Amino acid sequence: MGAKPKEWVLSDNSKWTAMQVANYVGIGHSSAYHRLSKSADRDIVLRKAENVKRLGGKRLYVLDDGSEWTSTMVANHTGCLLSTASTRLGTYTDPTKVLAPPPYYVTKGRTVSAAIKERMYYDPLGHWALLNKNL
């Protein structure tokens, strides 16, 4: 027999488990658990995100201008990392913030400068090549 899931009593005296909240709202189990542990207000715990829809297994975010974007679409459009795109969509609904180009240090490229290449400890093949090198 498994343990009985914890139930929280909300402001309207209804009892909810984290899994019930997750299924009702359409969020992850850990997000539902976090909501339940932080507040007992029914409106806060059971609040659905107005700007998020489901498109198959992906989240489709609606921005303030009415356009719909997934994190993959934002990453391809802006050239930023997928993690950056999903963070922007989860945080902002303003299209100027979500669709802004990545910061200069990301667009500058991920190449190694000549000064670093000349340093003694730089190894372009990784440290395993040094360790496995036959002497």
Say how many domains are in the chain: 2
Whether residues 41 and 62 share a domain: the answer is no
The pLDDT tens digits for 11-63 are 999 999 999 988 888 777 888 888 899 888 988 888 876 667 766 667 888 88
- pLDDT for 59-111, tens place per residue? 888 888 989 898 999 999 998 888 888 888 888 889 999 999 887 655 555 56
pTM recorded for the entire structure: 0.50
14 with 59, same domain? no
- Alpha carbon distances (Å) from 30 to 5, 27, 35, 52, 106: 14, 8, 9, 18, 31
The range of the structural domain enclosing residue 85 comes to 52-106
Which spans in 12-135 are helix H? 18-25, 29-38, 42-45, 71-78, 82-91, 95-98, 104-107, 114-117, 127-131
